Amino acid sequence: MSFLNYAQPVADSLSHQQRPKIGLVLSGGGAKGFAHVGVLKVIDELGIPIDYIAGTSMGSIIGGFYAIGYSAVDIEKIILDQNWEDLLSDHVSREFVPIYEKKDFERYILSFPIKPKGIELPRGIVGGQNVINLFERLTINYHNQTDFKKLPIPFLCIATDLETGEAVVLDKGYLPQAMRASMAIPTFFAPIEIDGKLLADGGMINNFPVKELINMGADIVIGVDVQAGAKSKKELKSLLDIINQTASLMALNNFKDNLKYCDIYIKPKIDEYTVGSFQDADSLIRRGEVVAESFIPTLLELKDKYKLEKSVVKAYVPPCDSTTFFLKDIEVEGLNEVSYSLLAGKLNLATNSRFSLTQLQDGIKRVYGSRYFDHVDFKMRGEEEKSLLVNVTERTTKRFNVGLHYDSDNNAAVILNTTFRNKLRSGSRLSFDLKLSENPRFKTTYTIDNGLKPGLNVEAEFNDSEVYVFENGKKLASYDFNYLKFDVNTHSIFKESYLFGLGGKIEYYNINSEFSIPDILDARDDDYFFSYYAFLNLDSHDKAYYPKTGMSLYGEYKLVTNNGISVDGMERPASVAYVKFQKAISVSPTFTIYPKFYGRVVWGKNIPNFYMSYTGGVDQTDYFDIQIPFVGLERMEVASTNSFVFRADFQYELFRNNYLILKANAGKLNDDVDEALRHGEWIKGVGLTYSYNSIIGPIEFTLMYSDRKSGISNYVNLGFWF
């Protein structure tokens, strides 16, 4: 039992005091810091008063919450309620991402800012957006308190100045920001700037701030240490091990010195856990509780000797999501190139009116989800009437993105993307895509988002693809298919997930082959068309891949001409209608049913082959709006004027990020709409997919069968779709 002899020195120095002041120091240690909560639970149960708290890294977070009035049980609930994978990332739900950004939201595996000196790596893997927002939410009633000595329990935490390498004591300022700075593990979390200093994890220099606690006024120090000791080279097996070892070695001398002044030293037995064991929170809390229980005699001796009684600290009850506030005004700091109107539109809070905490949280998520900012945090000031201060860090307006993909139909491909924002006007987005593969593609897009007010989208695209002609499931010929498009539309966006608009496009098609197949395609054929269209796009899926909630709908009606008025040989334009509908129905946490419908109808005479409906292929690309996916058929295998496909995916999550999916579809194809629906040919297909949702995108292997061909075929997909 680690119990240093405090009794005589304290008795001598406190002859004229009512009782000694008890200080609590909590070390850093990543997820292992959850053990602090178990120790605090025992301290609470024994009624031991805590007069001062000092913490580093995870110790600063738990200590900060405890200092404003959260009980150990409250903090335990907070920890166990978190989705740590999302919290320790900058992930924002697709619900808060504008619909025109959703298709790019999970598309690239690498993204770099382009600075004047070229492409630069970020300061950390994670910016900490979700962490700071959680801290702000949980401390909202203490945003006004800038002196941490005046908190219900005086508090300080330790950070490291990256410029000087010195420890920085944070005992004033903005509490959420101080806690966030103290836990900024180098390379993983980006450091943050406070008072002109670039601050990171305090554990690099002082991971056990006992002396600082004594300087606050503590007479007796209870120290809880969750640090890992130095590991041997054989034990350094991961990046987290290396980071933790580096921080531990740098702080080792300070720790040994601080330990001399610690009166009660508690070290939970958690060697088998790592700084990244966030999914073991309940076990770590229990480990802390077990070791603290072994100190009950020591703590009771302390309590009885000095007749200690727990200080009356008002329990902190944070506002619930439905709590409302009166908003007096809004201030924004950090805007340079992005307009205030864009931010205010995303925030969607009216001054001189009441708003709920949910509305505020959703507004912050929409601002961050707009992709114009790397960082968005908030501060509430005032008593009855609130002033809202929103602080933003604008996202570098130039970014370079990289994606990788392979599938059985299109083979390997790399996409290189550069995206520029706020070109010509605030709120704009200019993007260039270059797909490098056997079938290259180039696309440039310029978009202006005005919310409900009409916005603008301009696209130019070139696509060089290879298509095949099939008969009875066998390839008869291969054609080089070139597609060139210039598209302009105006659109309105509603609640980030709904988009509707009107547009026009010029399309040029060219088919080229060494030979032709009579009655199917000429060896060489090309033409251009003018089209007018109206469209509706909806996407409320929680995830782009393997969603469990939400739906998506894309519907388009297009008038096709080759002279702006009609098609050759006709007195009117041809008509094309296309619809794609998908809905995720969560039956249980692991089982989701995903019904889908694809339909494409063409009306008119002398319809060119370019506008036929081509059914087949598992891929989710939108290279051509003439393609209808169908499990069991090869890409664009069956050509018809009209195609209707009904499909259902039965998705079961075997274990985390591993899925088994049964895909069943049936379709009717015909050259006449009425005939297709009433007497058209039914085709049927089924597939079974095993999938792993990796950090580079889905890794899928599918076995599939169709009644249009004999035997079982397979399909492989690796990486995000683009």
What amino acid positions are annotated as catalytic residues?
A: 57, 201
CA-CA-CA-CA torsion sign (249, 253, 254, 257): positive
User: What backbone phi and psi angles, to 5 degrees, belong to 505?
Assistant: -145, 155
CA angle 14-17-21, nearest 5°?
A: 75
Query: Strand, coil or helix: what is 23?
Result: strand
Closest among 557, 552, 504, 553 to 535, alpha carbons compared = 557
Closest among 204, 68, 184 to 127, alpha carbons compared = 184
**DSSP label at residue 563:** S
**DSSP label at residue 632:** T
CA distance 698 to 1: 51
Q: Which two tokens stand for residue 520?
A: 């199917």
Containing 62, the helix (H) or strand (E) segment is: helix 58-67
Tally of CA atoms within 13 A in the half-sphere of 513 that contains its CB: 20
Find out whether 610 and 509 touch, Cβ atoms under 8 Å. yes
- Measure Cα distances from 53 to 139, 193, 251, 307, 574 in Å: 17, 23, 20, 21, 75
Q: Which two tokens stand for residue 671?
A: 């050259």
CA distance 669 to 528: 26
Q: What does the CA dihedral 116, 119, 123, 129 come to, rounded to 10 degrees?
A: 90
Closest among 551, 696, 564, 686 to 618, alpha carbons compared = 686
Find out whether 258 and 209 touch, Cβ atoms under 8 Å. yes
Query: Strand, coil or helix: what is 706?
Result: strand
CA distance 318 to 312: 18
**Could you please report the per-residue DSSP string of 376-399?**
EEEEEE-SSEEEEEEEEEEPPSEE
CA distance 149 to 153: 7
CA distance 552 to 579: 11
Residue 480 contacts by C-beta under 8 Å, 6 or more apart in sequence? 464, 465, 466, 511, 512, 513
Closest among 622, 628, 581, 574 to 602, alpha carbons compared = 574
Q: Which two tokens stand for residue 552?
A: 């998506």
Find out whether 131 and 416 touch, Cβ atoms under 8 Å. no
Query: Strand, coil or helix: what is 234?
Result: coil
Q: Which two tokens stand for residue 416?
A: 């290189």
Find out whether 504 and 475 touch, Cβ atoms under 8 Å. no
Find out whether 578 and 556 touch, Cβ atoms under 8 Å. yes
Interaxial angle between packed helices 129-138 and 175-182, expressed in degrees from 0 to 180 and rounded to the nearest 10? 140
Amino acid letter, residue 83: N
First to last CA, the chain: 60
